[in-house]
Amino acid sequence: MPRLTEVLAELDALWPPERAEQWDAVGTVCGDPDAEVDRVLFAVDPVQEVADEAIALGAQLLVTHHPLYLRGTTTVAASHFKGRVVHTLIKHDVALHVAHTNADTADPGVSDALAGALDLRVVGPLVPENGLGRICELDPPETLRAFAARAARRLPATAQGIRVAGDLDAPVRRVAVSGGSGDSLFDAVRAAGVDAFLTADLRHHPASEATQHTPLGLVDAAHWATEWPWCELAAAQLDEISDRRGWNLRVHVSKTVTDPWAAHHTSPVAHHTSPGAPN
């Protein structure tokens, strides 16, 4: 069996930590570099349910996309839920490693996995300077309505589902995709001349301005759902490395839904007119 330090060296080669944004917190949170590893679990969020899943699975390494301590901390006391995760993992000899914005800009990375989940053909990066996002093409083109339905079918189910803005009958040939929060990318999306933008966490004002500027279609999925496909991609990459190195690792992807929203109650069909007086 490989040691943890050997596995982490391969993961850092896939997602170099120096490619992470300066504000990010990537890398190893806890773990003994000399510990042996034979089972690995990939997940989006380092929450207690996922830590418990790693333990039940018998994994020695948990790799997550989201950091546990994004803004730093002065304590890992188990009286706080994040500290409890650390205590749980250390107590059961499970290492935690994070690949966040360094996985977003990797090639292949988070947006490649998102494009692959929807069976889109990637033609290039959305932001060439850092490799963030992807520009894709549909063969053959379809309506915005059909494209949104494709996203709903192929991404993991969440309470939010898929929100759509724009002309539902407009043809969609070129699409920009970006896993996770994407409304900071609207300038790049407009410059790319795409017909639709698939991402997550779209806020009211950026979305409203985007639809006023251009006939751009917006497809807004849950943050977790747009990033979960990366777990499958990352697991496949580590599987290939394991086979090449003769490690015989058992690599798993968490199916635990860690999207924070529990339910969605649909309003009557909205029309872009005055909402009228409340009942």
Residues 100-154 have pLDDT tens digits of 999 999 999 999 999 999 999 999 999 999 999 999 999 999 999 999 999 999 9
Tens of pLDDT, residue by residue over 51-106, are 999 999 999 999 999 999 998 899 999 999 999 999 999 999 999 999 999 999 99
What are the φ/ψ torsions at residue 22 (nearest 5 degrees)?
A: -60, -30
Task: Please give the residue range of the domain that contains residue 84.
Answer: 4-103+227-253
Same-domain check for residues 91 and 111: no
What are the φ/ψ torsions at residue 95 (nearest 5 degrees)?
A: -80, 150
Same-domain check for residues 64 and 122: no
Same-domain check for residues 67 and 141: no
Do 151 and 198 contact (CB within 8 A), yes or no?
yes
Same-domain check for residues 45 and 125: no
- pTM higher than 0.85, yes or no? yes
Same-domain check for residues 157 and 238: no
What is the pLDDT, as a whole number, of residue 274?
Answer: 47
Same-domain check for residues 13 and 82: yes
- Residue at 19 is within a domain: yes
Same-domain check for residues 162 and 243: no
User: In this structure, what is the dihedral angle of CA atoms 274, 189, 167, 227, given to the nearest 10 degrees?
Assistant: -90
CA distances from 86 to 82, 90, 96, 102 (A): 7, 6, 9, 22
- Residue at 267 is within a domain: no
- Residue at 66 is within a domain: yes
Do 232 and 212 contact (CB within 8 A), yes or no?
no
CATH number of the domain enclosing 79:
3.40.1390.30
**For the chain, how many structural domains are there in total?**
2
Same-domain check for residues 77 and 122: no
Same-domain check for residues 217 and 113: yes
Same-domain check for residues 201 and 139: yes
- Residue at 31 is within a domain: yes
